[in-house]
Amino acid sequence: MKFRSSLFLLPLAVLALKNSAKAQSVIIPIETANNALVLEANNNHDVNTVYFGPKLADSKEYNHIAPAVGKDNDYTGQMASVYTPAGSRNLLEPAIAVTHADGNQSLDLKYVSHKVDKVSDDVSLLTLVLKDNVYNTEVTLYYKSYFKDDVIEQWSTIRNGEKGTLVLNKFASANLYLKAGSFYLTQYHGDWAKEMRPETSQLTHGIKTLDSKLGTRADLFQPPVFMVSMDKPATEDEGTVMYGSIEWSGNYRTDLELDPENNLRVISGINNYASAYQLKAGESFTTPPFLSVLSRNGKGDASRKLQHWARNYKLLDGNGNRLTLLNNWESTYFDFDETKLAALLKDTKKLGVDMFLLDDGWFGNKYPRNGDHSGLGDWQETKTKLPNGIASLVKGATDNGVKFGIWVEPEMVNPKSELYEKHPDWVIKQPKRDEYYFRNQLVLDLANPAVQDFVFGILDGLFTKNPDLAYIKWDCNAVIYNAYSAYLKKDQSQFYVDYMRGLYKVLSRIRAKYPKVPMMLCSGGGGRVDYNALQYFTEFWPSDNTDPLERVFIQWEYSYFYPAISSSNHVTDWSKLPVKYRVDVASMGKLGFDIVISKLPENDLKFVQDAVKNFNGFKDIVWHGDQYRLLDPRENPVASVAYVNEAKTSAVMFNYLVNYRYDEGSKAPIRLKGLDPAKQYKIKETNLYPGTKSGINENQIYSGDFLMKIGINPHVNSGRSSVVLMIEAV
Ligand code: GLA
């Protein structure tokens, strides 16, 4: 008891000192439309977070927050640090840990200066410089705030001003500090075909870590996105919630530490696992951004802000268009030739979609890619399958009035390939250990600039030879085992970081030369999607699982973080559910098909042809409108999602039966959201299967007020398991 109270005196003494020198503290508020993140450089020159919450009407009052809230029993003066340095006073999880050239492991970062630059009407950049007083180590923190969307991206640059090498043992992007009565973490787990399974739990004291160590991708088991609700779990429309995600496509680590004073410290960045990074004298290391969005109006509001931000600022061509397509993967797998493809090009036209996408299996001659055991790495057309090459297929597509796209997996290699024979040193593997495979393949060493050139050359070669090539599906079906780069020699601990930087270099080069060609980010599932990769890609592949019932759940969870326009949804034969259900679910994003059109029964064919036309009519609302999740499939027998255009004149509402027990269905009206209460609307059912009639009265006029307070019953039941309604202002 005595011990504790004597310790308790220490912060009070410090506090008194601070109050006497109060004039010296610098308040640094970062304001967005609704929120403020307030930092303070105190008289001790420590920079702490004093507040992250709804902004105050009078910004001068940010000065009063710290005294009003009172001080925690913080013996370190660093629990609320904006970038907690290890090895000096800190006792909790650090954001940065270093080893100086002389072997010393201490760091203490003090305020030097800050400035705010206005990037545009909407975007501001705060630059905050911190420096150690003993060692010449400088850290610059960046906070890029997007006013309208309440989004903040933050990252850091660490500069080694010493004469020798500085080793970065930990180098986070963000170190947030949240105050609330309690915190509820929603995290995701999964595996191949089981992506985005949510789990919500109250955070207890100590550290909860979300991380991955897969090398090529952030996610297979655990994506980098998460939510933290404050005081109670947020619902769609209520509660305070922060979404966060590191923007990094490789190993990441997010620590959520409920500290002894019941505040939540969120420290997120590249995973420092096996990744101590060496900075030579004068060098700098810039971390990837961590993004967050904070809302007091529930998960729906937070996700609409994030989606809006993504379309405007991050996702490639986020406000543009996308190509509907027919893919041949599940209809042919590796077994195709020119004759089969010619027929598929005709089917593409018949279906009415924009493009044909040729999948895996078109390359390799010494070791043709007739299965997933061989050929990967040898990017020449297989002569026996395609004697006239890709060029003749592109031409065939053009002759049919459709575009042509192609699958590549350029970072990978099968041991059974000419590439592997020629360049064993380009392959990631341990020199003295047995090779270990993921889908019979290994990963190329993108830390090596020669490999970067090779990967860039694959894409560049395809575009140069086929200027009309309209689309790339960029796959990544392996993780990194036996991490070892022959190129990095003794610097193996830089490998994971340098691999990802190498990949980004290649993608930047591709985008410099081919700025807008649409590319899908695929990873045998949704394992690669994150906001760093999405600046180079127009869309991602959420899961190999295309069973529409599964997809209702998977797409629902992804939609909290990513806009519909980025979600590649293909209609396949994974499920026995009616083709209408499959098409309706796939229409909540970027519609594609991977079924055998020539084998469709007459009515199914008629249905899909009409559905493609209908989709072209409403895709603008889905792609560029606001999304409202109306009924959660985890809590109801029916799932319901609506998209509303910006003018609130058009909406499309998707409704699905997700519980097939006796007599389940929509028993009551479902309340719409996001309409204009003062507008009058008419409702019409679309995507009706040939020969069926809608029970919806198309002539009835409803006010937006009525539709949002009372709602409309789509009459979903086992005979109408999927219902799409168009809501148009009159
Ligand atoms: C991955 C993709 C599939 C398909 C195959 C091809 O599994 O997710 O869509 O492209 O690779 O091998």
| List of residues 6+ apart from 429 with CB closer than 8 A | 435, 442, 482, 484
Give residue 9's pLDDT.
36
Q: Are 472 and 255 in contact (CB under 8 A)?
A: no
- 716: which strand partners? none
Q: Does domain 6-314 have CATH number 3.50.50.60?
A: no
Within 10 Å of residue 472's Cβ, how many Cβ atoms?
A: 25
Give residue 524's pLDDT.
80
How would residue 156 be classed by pLDDT, with cut points 50, 70 and 90?
Answer: very high
Q: What are phi and psi of 604, to 5 degrees?
A: -65, -45
Q: DSSP secondary structure string, 625-677?
A: SEEEEEE-TTTSSEEEEEEE-TTSSEEEEEEEE---STT-S--SPBPP-SS-T
What CATH architecture is 627-729? Answer: Sandwich (2.60)
How would residue 528 be classed by pLDDT, with cut points 50, 70 and 90?
Answer: confident
Q: What is the CA(30)–ligand 1 centre distance, in A?
A: 43
What CATH architecture is 325-541? Answer: Alpha-Beta Barrel (3.20)
Q: Which two tokens stand for residue 236?
A: 């769609």
H/E run at residue 65:
helix 65-69
Q: What are phi and psi of 375, to 5 degrees?
A: 90, -20
How would residue 24 be classed by pLDDT, with cut points 50, 70 and 90?
Answer: confident
Mean pLDDT (whole number) for 148-166: 98
Average pLDDT, the chain: 95
**C-alpha span between 405 and 469 (Å, rounded):** 6
**C-alpha span between 641 and 585 (Å, rounded):** 10
**Ligand 1 pocket: which of 329, 528, 574, 594 to mutate (most atoms within 8 A of CB):** 329
Handedness of CA 363, 368, 373, 377 (dihedral sign): negative
pLDDT at 53 over 90: yes
How would residue 8 be classed by pLDDT, with cut points 50, 70 and 90?
Answer: very low
How far, rounded to the nearest angstrom, does the alpha carbon of residue 346 sit from its chain's CA centroid? 35
Q: What is the CA(376)–ligand 1 centre distance, in A?
A: 13
Mean pLDDT (whole number) for 22-28: 79
The one-letter amino acid code at 112 reads V
Give residue 527's pLDDT.
77
**C-alpha span between 277 and 274 (Å, rounded):** 9
pLDDT in tens, 251-268: 999 999 999 999 999 999
Q: What is the CA(361)–ligand 1 centre distance, in A?
A: 10
Atom of ligand 1 nearest to the CA of 473: 10
Q: What is the CA(246)–ligand 1 centre distance, in A?
A: 26
**C-alpha span between 724 and 280 (Å, rounded):** 60
How far, rounded to the nearest angstrom, does the alpha carbon of residue 69 sit from its chain's CA centroid? 35
Atom of ligand 1 nearest to the CA of 407: 10
Q: Greatest CA separation found in the chain? A: 88
Give residue 726's pLDDT.
98
Q: Are 236 and 298 in contact (CB under 8 A)?
A: yes
> What residues does ligand 1 touch, defined as CB less than 6 Å away?
329, 359-360, 407, 475, 477, 522, 524, 541, 544
pLDDT in tens, 95-121: 999 999 999 999 999 999 999 999 999
CATH 2.70.98.60 region(s) of the chain?
6-314
Mean pLDDT (whole number) for 506-535: 94
pLDDT in tens, 669-723: 999 999 999 999 999 999 999 999 998 999 999 999 999 999 999 999 999 999 9
Handedness of CA 342, 347, 349, 354 (dihedral sign): negative
Give residue 718's pLDDT.
96
CATH 3.20.20.70 region(s) of the chain?
325-541
Q: Which two tokens stand for residue 244?
A: 């966060």
Atom 6 (ligand 1): residue with closest C-alpha?
360
**C-alpha span between 278 and 474 (Å, rounded):** 31
pLDDT at 19 over 70: no
Could you tell me where the DSSP H helices lie in 168-318? Answer: 298-309
pLDDT at 30 over 70: yes
Q: Which residues of 542-552 are buried (b: 16+ CB within 10 A; e: fewer)?
A: bbbbbbbbbbb
Q: How far is CA 439 from CA 105, 334, 480, 683, 724, in A?
A: 42, 15, 12, 48, 39
Q: Are 269 and 287 in contact (CB under 8 A)?
A: yes
Q: What are phi and psi of 280, to 5 degrees?
A: -75, 170
Q: What is the CA(399)–ligand 1 centre distance, in A?
A: 27
- Give the torsion through C-alpha atoms of 65, 66, 71, 77, to 10 deg: 150
pLDDT in tens, 452-485: 999 999 999 999 999 999 999 999 999 999 999 9
Q: What is the CA(216)–ligand 1 centre distance, in A?
A: 16
**C-alpha span between 491 and 474 (Å, rounded):** 29
pLDDT at 525 over 90: no
H/E run at residue 423:
none
Give residue 71's pLDDT.
78
